[in-house]
């Protein structure tokens, strides 16, 4: 996915408030400030795609981690994500107050079939059924998403992802995407 990886990272970085609102499932007006955390994670040269520190208008602070992934990956995404999430938490959160700043993550899959078996919900249990480790991230398969879902969000920055979505009626979708809309709040 090298041909799309960097442009997608730049897109998310340049339009971080739009992506933060979408991926955190809040109204765009609820995002007060987004600060990129361009970090190299400890224990090796592992670089996540994008990490943001988001401040919502109600004062809540959130760490938001976004990854893009095509069909193939050297390492399975669930293992990469538990690694990334652990390293981000270790670097950015005080372990005595882990719940003080929530952390959310999303993997946006690009290309037919990418992430088809990824549930985004994983755990390792003890023999007694208690959890030793659990991690969760939002899985968005752009290639399965109807283009109308992105159009309905009325966020111009997200329209650049339309070509990665399912477009049932190209002429209608193209027309709807090019119509000027009043900015949403």
- Could you read off the pLDDT of 100-113 as tens digits, one per residue? 789 999 999 999 99
Query: Across the chain, where does the E strand assignment appear?
Result: 31-36, 50-56, 61-69, 103-109, 121-125, 131-136, 138-141
CA distance 86 to 80: 10
Q: Output b/e per residue, 58-68; b: 16+ Cβ within 10 A.
A: eeeebbbbbbb
Length reported for the chain: 185
CA distance 28 to 155: 9
Write the DSSP symbol of residue 129. S
pLDDT at position 115 is 96
CA distance 173 to 178: 9
Grouping H, G, I as helix, E, B as strand and the rest as coil, residue 58 is coil
What HEC string does 95-121 produce? HHHHHHCCEEEEEEECCCCCCCCCCCE
CA distance 104 to 139: 12
Query: pLDDT of the chain along its 185 residues, tens only?
Result: 555 567 888 888 889 999 999 999 999 999 999 988 765 555 554 556 789 999 999 999 999 999 999 988 888 999 999 999 988 888 888 777 666 789 999 999 999 999 999 999 999 999 899 999 999 999 999 999 999 999 999 898 999 999 999 998 888 888 888 876 655 55
What's the burial of 117, exposed, middle or buried (CB within 10 Å: 0-12/13-18/19+)?
A: exposed
Which residues make Cβ contacts (< 8 Å) with residue 159, sequence separation at least 6? 150, 151, 177
CA distance 78 to 101: 22
């Amino acid at each position: 996915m090298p041909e799309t990886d960097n442009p997608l990272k730049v897109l998310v970085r340049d339009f971080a408030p739009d992506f933060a609102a979408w991926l955190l499932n809040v109204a765009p007006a609820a995002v007060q400030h987004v600060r990129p955390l361009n970090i190299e994670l400890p224990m090796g040269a592992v670089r996540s795609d994008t990490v943001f520190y988001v401040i919502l208008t109600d004062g809540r602070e959130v760490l938001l981690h976004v990854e893009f992934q095509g069909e193939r990956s050297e390492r399975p995404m669930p293992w990469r994500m538990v690694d990334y999430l652990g390293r981000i938490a270790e670097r950015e959160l005080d372990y005595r107050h882990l719940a003080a700043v929530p952390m959310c993550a999303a993997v946006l899959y690009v290309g037919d079939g990418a992430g088809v078996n990824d549930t985004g919900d994983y755990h390792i249990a003890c023999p007694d059924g208690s959890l030793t480790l659990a991690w969760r991230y939002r899985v968005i398969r752009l290639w399965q998403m109807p283009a109308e879902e992105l159009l309905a969000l009325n966020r111009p920055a997200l329209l650049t992802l339309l070509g990665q979505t399912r477009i049932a009626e190209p002429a209608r979708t193209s027309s709807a995407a090019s119509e000027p809309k009043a900015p949403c709040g």
